[in-house]
Chain A
Amino acid sequence: MQLARVIGTVVATEKIEGLEGVRFLIIQPLDKTLEPVGRTVVAADAVHMAGQGEMVYFVSSREAAEALPVRFVPVDHAIVGIVDDVHIGAGS
């Protein structure tokens, strides 16, 4: 799982079967110092609550589809949690 920041939304009415009701958000992956790293990706929102500007963590590859109500849907990134806090270093 990786950290990311929600930077936008994707609206699509016509979707493949199994993705009805799934929200898609544009996320910018972050490194552990919370700086942007790599390219933005579109991720399904499995927590249904992630919003613009929030820090989230997401799972990639086949495991992303496991987070959604219908399994084996063609999704390769899914937001699985909203971050309250990140502690780096001793005392974490």
Chain B
Amino acid sequence: MKVGNVAGTVVSTINIPLLDEHRLLICDIQDVDGDPDGYTICIDVVDAGVGETVLILDEGNSARQILGIDTGAIRAVIVGVVDELVVDGEPRNVT
């Protein structure tokens, strides 16, 4: 799993049927130093909001398990909103 920040939303009408019922959020991924390390578009199952620090699962089988499906082209899912983050004993700012 990865830690990221919700940067925005993607609006899409035409997509594979699986994505019809899910919100898509653009998340900046953080590296261990808290620096940006790319972004990914995630499915949101916890109602995360823009600006929040979130926990991102980026693995297909686990993502499908969360959504309760056997097949489907999904990989990145937001599975939690982060309350507190401590790296090497140092608390990090979370939003």
Contact = CB atoms under 8 A, between A and B. Distances in A.
A92 B9 CA distance: 6
Given A1-B76, A59-B75, A63-B60, 14 more contacts: A2-B40, A3-B41, A32-B39, A61-B60, A64-B73, A66-B74, A78-B73, A81-B19, A82-B14, A83-B12, A86-B8, A86-B10, A90-B51, A91-B50
Contacts of A46: 16, 73
Contacts of A64: 73
Contacts of B76: 1
Interface residues of B, number: 27
A31 interface: yes
Q: Which 8 A-B pairs have the closest CB atoms?
A: A81-B15, A67-B73, A88-B8, A1-B41, A85-B11, A66-B73, A81-B12, A82-B14
Contact size range, A = 20 to 34
Contacts of A1: 24, 40-42, 75-76
26 contacts: A1-B24, A2-B40, A3-B10, A46-B73, A57-B10, A57-B12, A57-B41, A59-B73, A59-B75, A61-B75, A62-B60, A63-B75, A64-B73, A71-B71, A78-B73, A81-B12, A81-B15, A82-B12, A83-B12, A84-B12, A85-B10, A85-B11, A88-B8, A88-B26, A92-B8, A92-B9
